[in-house]
Amino acid sequence: MLLKTKKQTYDLQTNTHIMGILNVTPDSFSDGGKFISQDEAIKQAVLMEKQGAHMIDVGGESTRPGHEPVAANEELDRVIPVIKAIREKVNVPISIDTYRAETARQAIEAGADIINDIWGAKKDPEMAAVAAEFQVPIILMHNRTNKQYGSLLEDMKNDLRKSVEIALNAGVAKDNIILDPGIGFAKTVEHNFLVMNELEKISALGFPLLLGASRKSFIGHVLDVPADARDNGTGATTCLGIVKGANIVRVHDVKMNVELVKMMDAMLKRGKLNTKWIK
């Protein structure tokens, strides 16, 4: 199970990988406005790479509940200069978090290596074609316009199978498809906990699994803390996610989650045990 990009090839079965979140938006739910300037965005990207992030996910539109969609040209104005600047400063792959095909295209031309689509190639009919044209990995997230399910996990699997079908029919290589269960999207609090406890059923679809639970509201529901104080709770989702089959975790706090991932992988005997750990 390899993730191949222009910059790196990762063995996703050997070790769990970290995707650092870089929101260049004024209104993201936990860090809106912190990295909207290009200088701050570059500093954060460099820091995340230094802390051990394997890839960096750049987003130009908030996806928090009740967010105001931005115009396509505004999204481009936010992300393209940042991706170009970051590409000169970091060596890890860059992911573009967008559901617009034109944004994905221009981001790849600017230096991005991965497409991260919260609508699983269903919102923009050209998205899968862009991934196929540039032969880049695409993350297909589970999402829908309502929270009405007959059987939550079965419906999710069917929704994700449809996204996979769209991608394959457009010419995306099977090895370039990653699935995301979409924690916090079109799901109640109870749904999110059920999905977390049954992630292995999504992993069983046969594609690498990305978990994006960082600072989500279901954590706040339990801990009763604001979004920027949910990193400990996020760490719990990271650990459970690894046990349940997650190959990549998408997080805000890279340093803490790198340490958690290393420890979990060591205890689960994933990867080559570093002998310096043994005294």
Annotated catalytic residue, options 122, 157, 187, 250: 250
- Residue 199 and residue 9: Cα distance in Å, rounded? 25
Q: Is 147 a catalytic site residue?
A: no
- Residue 206 and residue 241: Cα distance in Å, rounded? 16
Helix (H, G, I), strand (E, B) or coil at 217: helix
Helix (H, G, I), strand (E, B) or coil at 100: coil
Report whether 251 contacts 210 (CB < 8 A): no
Hey, how many other C-beta atoms are within 10 angstroms of the C-beta on 139? 27
Written as one letter, the residue type at 172 is: V
List, as own/partner pairs, every contact residues 263-269 make where C-beta atoms lie below 8 angstroms and the sequence separation is at least 24, other chains included.
264/16, 264/238, 264/239, 265/15, 265/16, 268/242, 268/243
Annotated catalytic residue, options 122, 216, 230, 244: 216
Hey, how many other C-beta atoms are within 10 angstroms of the C-beta on 237? 27
- Residue 76 and residue 109: Cα distance in Å, rounded? 12
Report whether 135 contacts 173 (CB < 8 A): yes
Which among 234, 239, 276 has a CA at the least distance from the CA of 251? Answer: 234
Let me know how many helices (H) and strands (E) the chain has, helices first. Answer: 10, 10
Which H helix or E strand runs over 231? helix 231-243
Q: Is 216 a catalytic site residue?
A: yes
Which among 128, 136, 214 has a CA at the least distance from the CA of 164? Answer: 128
Q: Which residues are catalytic?
A: 216, 250
